[in-house]
Amino acid sequence: MKKLLFSIPFMLSCILWGQSPGGVNSELRIWLKANDGFSPSSWTDRSGSGNTFTQLNATRMPSLIAASPKNNFNPSVDFGPVNMPAQAKFMVVPTNGPYIANNIGNTMFLMISAKDLSGYQDYLGFGGTTTGAALVNANIPVATNNTNSNTAVQLYPVAGGNFTLARTLNKLHMVDFSYPFAGTTTSISAGLDGRTQMASASFTSNTARGAILGSQPEIAAADMGEIVAYQRELTAAEKVRVRSYLAIKYGITLSQPQNYIASDGTTVAWNSARNSSFNNNIFGLANDDGSALDQRVSNSINSGTILTVANNNDFTSANANGSRTSFVQNRTFLLFGDNDNTSTSLLDVPSALNPKGDKKRIQRVWQVEKVNDTGTTWLQADLSSYAINSNIFMMVADDPNFTTNLVKVPGVIVNGKVTFNYNFPANKYITFAGEIAQGTCQQCTGGKVFQFDTGRAWANGGQVARDNNEISNILLGTTSQGELRIVKMKSDYSADPSVEYAPRAYPSWIGGTWMLTRRYDNTNVVVKHSVELNQAVKARFQISNINKYLNNANFFTVKGYCDGVVVQPKVTYGYPVNNNTTFRIDPDNTLHGTRPFRGFTYLYSTANIVFDRPVQRIEIECRVERVNTLKTLRSLAWGQMTFECAANPDPNPDNMYMYQSFTTNPIFACNETTMMMRIINNNAVSKTININNTLPAGLAYVPNSYNDVELPANSPQPTYGGTLFSLNNLVIPPGDHTIYINVKPTANVSTTYQTQGSFTVNGNTYNSDGDPATPGFQTSPLQVLEGANVDTSKFKLTKTTSTACSKNGQQITYKLMIENNSGADVNGAVLEEDLQYGQSVQSYTLNGGLTGTPVVDPIGGTILHLKDLKIPTGTSYVEMVVNINDSYTNSNNTSLFNFFKVELAPNSPCGNGGAITSNIIDIALCEYCTKDPLTGTPDGFTKVGITGYSGIQNGWPGNIPNGFIAIESKNKGMVITRTTSGSIAKPIEGMLIYDTTDKCFKLYNGTVWKCITRSCND
């Protein structure tokens, strides 16, 4: 007896200062946890009382069931199958335990998932024990299945009719019983998931004569996760604390209304009175040292649950997995409860986040309650029952109607479920929204960004690729789903192969940046150019050459495809719209040439294409909107493509981000690239920011290249030059907006520059991010390859014409003088002249040692295109006779402009290819008409001459045909009579004077004097 008295104070001391369920430790006698101390032969008691349950018979040993969402990512113990006594399992505590006396108070909690709800199913009984394999009784009393209702748990031998709290088969439930004493009539409290009912009965309680957990002759077909028992009846407040601990740990929703209380007895983890509409399907994360509660991943175990929350991006591993982290601070909670609205019909998202009206949200809403700093939290939502399937985001607000402090948190779709990363501020409400897309392809994940150099790919493909108009199987890198590849890139001229221009030369790589493909025809054939990938991506790129030629306009339509369903891109101008812009963007996002390209920066003919929904295939349909039958050369330039895989952004309190990248990367040192600063405002209100972006030495901003076409009109403009860029008081509306500015290397070296901008909002400064796949804010590297521009300073092109004005149907001669002062011949150059408005080449000659081969026969056509051009040192010439045809009609009687272009090194990686352009010749429409001079043998020669020279040239004036008198002088003029027509008393027909009053030459026609003016001589 002394030994007993010695041991009891020692054990109580351990309990008092240790951990206990809900922090309730007084008289705790059994605490068995499947996640802590279980083996098939021994289940260690964590109560400090030494009541470890054991089983030495191998055939009767229970087994551990791995953690799963069914038990809120915690394990459980399997006590055997249904109706198979030979495989029934149990464990025991010997006589003299587990309590210190019989007929004393008792409170026990059991986490039970029943496999069978018929007949007695014994779970925990007192008053018996065994060391053998035979099934024996321990039922004074025993918690067992209720044979009266076949669903409730009964405290036998109390009559089953007293217990009616129904359970669900194969679902984990929290069962509890308590009574203050036994041996005489006593009150009994029975609980199921926080609901209680009372009974009154008289029974004996042999709680100090051994105990059996699991099967007795009435087998236990059940799994059990945790057993807690006290040798006294707990108070109502103590029961709430224990129930709160078990409910949070196992994802069970306590019967409402009742708060969830922490182990200190005062901290409210879930306030059921805050909004009673959301006391459903409660679950969450917790760290409560007093209860040894460390729940790092959680879901409600109720049917129909669609949300899981975790401390890391892992929604499958066990709660105890070593990769998971705990909340740092004790008694930290993040709990969720919903409005139990399971309707799959959708509601409109508030207009602040839904300017196009294409976003819908689900009706299920969660209340989120937070105690202490929870840090970054991950959520996963199974939205497969809803129609939204693209660009899904979580809505977070202060109220359940999402009107106050509304923000959105972008999601990433992984295996049909959507993940989110967010740092919850104070108590919030959340729901989920998105767009309804016909295609269901899912964007690759992992956050990586991949570059596809279209032009280089065609160059690498060589002649075989050009002959087949196709390149294929190009590895770009690895996503979370595996290798990302270009399945094929194709230029499809199958509708009419004859329209393809120079099939063996195109598609080609130009300027180290672009893929160029060309057509030469006068048809309405549609040519399609496409890229196909093996995974779905979001994409952005540029296309160029959107303009008019011979009044026939390029007409481009860009489409994406997701599972064969069309996806429309966002299309913007590559440069701010001005008088030099050569195209328009129609409401249906088609790109429509509006004017010829006149040699300005390529950006005037360039559009930005962004697919903000995932696509597997991108197609550009190239048409020519024809207003005449002139055969025209039309081109498409397709820039480097950027492919994005989804990643969850790192949360920040301002819900704003800036991602920095480049349209072309790598670039050659002789080229420019466009820096894209993509600014995302995930708030429902506009935010004002300041941006600073200092380039590393070796890079510089290109003057006059800033483009804010995606921002509201009249947005403030930046100050930039050299390496410095600053932009203040920029208002960013909700959504995704990109500003563009060109950057160029200042030195011809191969290196990689690390670039990074920053922005300030609400007094907080954030860096731009160049790698969403890596946590934190990474720099944006720009790789520069050595490449010097071809020196064109020793070359000059001068274009002249045989006339200053012309008219329809006339022929004129263009002459190009090429001056090569480099001291060496140039070989392999290219010359091109694209005649405007319908002029056609009649003939051409190369002089002065200039040689070259036509790419296509120019005679009768509108272009002169020579390849393999040899430009000798010194001066050489091209003379080209052109028929004006109906050009002035086609140009609405405006001037015809023309210029020659020579590329000294067309295969150079540099953007200009050593390009030189001549002066532009504008040939106006002659506003008068004359007959062409006669040709052939003259009728006679001039016989009389007056000269101011001291010596007469040999044969003069007799060598001047068809004249009567010839007058010449180097510095003298002929003066005719200067008077007024009214001064001539008797004019004679044909008389000529200079009228000093009317300031014109006048001729008397026999009737009146008239000033001489231009007119037709027909």
913-929 per-position pLDDT tens digit: 688 889 988 888 887 66
Residue 820: which H helix or E strand, with range?
A: strand 811-820
- Please tell me the distance from the alpha carbon of residue 915 to that of residue 829, in angstroms, as a whole number: 10
Mean pLDDT of 244-264: 97
d(CA 1000, CA 206): 138
Mean pLDDT along residues 455-460: 92
Distance CA 628, CA 138 (A): 101
Would you state the pLDDT for residue 499?
95
Highest mean pLDDT among 10-24, 245-259, 935-949: 245-259
> According to the per-residue pLDDT averaged within each range, which of 28-32, 629-633, 672-676, 864-868 is highest?
28-32
Sorted by sequence, the CB contacts under 8 Å of residue 691 that are 6+ apart come out as 658, 677, 718, 725, 726, 727, 728, 730, 757, 758, 759
CA triplet 285, 289, 292: central angle to 5 degrees? 80
The pLDDT tens digits for 699-724 are 999 999 999 999 999 999 999 999 99
Stronger pLDDT, 550 or 188, i.e. the higher one = 188
Report whether pLDDT(278) > 80: yes
Answer whether residue 17 shows pLDDT above 70: no
Average pLDDT of span 729-740: 96
What integer is the mean pLDDT of 23-34?
Answer: 98
Q: Note the pLDDT of residue 1016.
A: 56
Distances, alpha carbon 126 to alpha carbons 5, 136, 189, 331, in Å: 23, 11, 18, 35
- Which element (helix H / strand E) includes 381? strand 377-381
pLDDT in tens, 847-891: 999 999 999 899 988 889 999 999 999 999 999 999 999 888 877
Work out whether the CA dihedral 924, 925, 927, 928 comes out positive or negative.
Answer: positive
Evaluate if residue 533 carries a pLDDT over 80.
yes
**Confidence class for position 551, pLDDT limits 50, 70, 90:** confident
Look at residue 46 and tell me whether its pLDDT is greater than 80.
yes
pLDDT greater than 70 at residue 433: yes
pLDDT in tens, 154-210: 999 999 889 999 999 999 999 999 999 999 999 999 999 999 999 999 999 999 999
Q: What is the mean predicted confidence (pLDDT) over 144-158?
A: 91
Residue with the larger pLDDT of the pair 253 and 959: 253
The pLDDT tens digits for 214-251 are: 999 999 999 999 999 999 999 999 999 999 999 999 99
Q: What is the pLDDT of residue 370?
A: 97
**595 — phi, psi (to 5°)?**
-160, 160
What average pLDDT score do residues 782-796 get?
Answer: 90
Q: Is the pLDDT of residue 667 over 80?
A: yes
pLDDT in tens, 826-854: 999 999 998 888 889 999 999 999 999 99
pLDDT band at 15 (very low <50, low <70, confident <90, very high): very low
- The answer on pLDDT for 42 being more than 50 is yes
Kind plus residue range of the DSSP H or E element containing 468: helix 454-468
pLDDT at 898: 81
Q: Is the pLDDT of residue 930 over 60?
A: no
Q: Where are the beta strands (DSSP E) in 522-655?
A: 527-544, 548-549, 552-562, 565-567, 570-573, 583-585, 591-593, 607-625, 632-638, 641-644
Spatial neighbors of 681 by CB under 8 A, at least 6 apart, are 655, 656, 687, 732, 733, 734, 735, 737
Can you give the pLDDT at residue 928? 64
* Mean pLDDT rounded to a whole number for the chain: 92
Mean of the pLDDT values across residues 523-548?
Answer: 95
The answer on pLDDT for 129 being more than 50 is yes
pLDDT at 13: 34
Of 560, 430, 456, 553, the closest CA to residue 514 belongs to 456
- Residue 5 pLDDT > 90: no
Could you tell me what percent of the chain has a pLDDT over 70? 96
Residue 963's pLDDT band (cuts 50, 70, 90):
confident
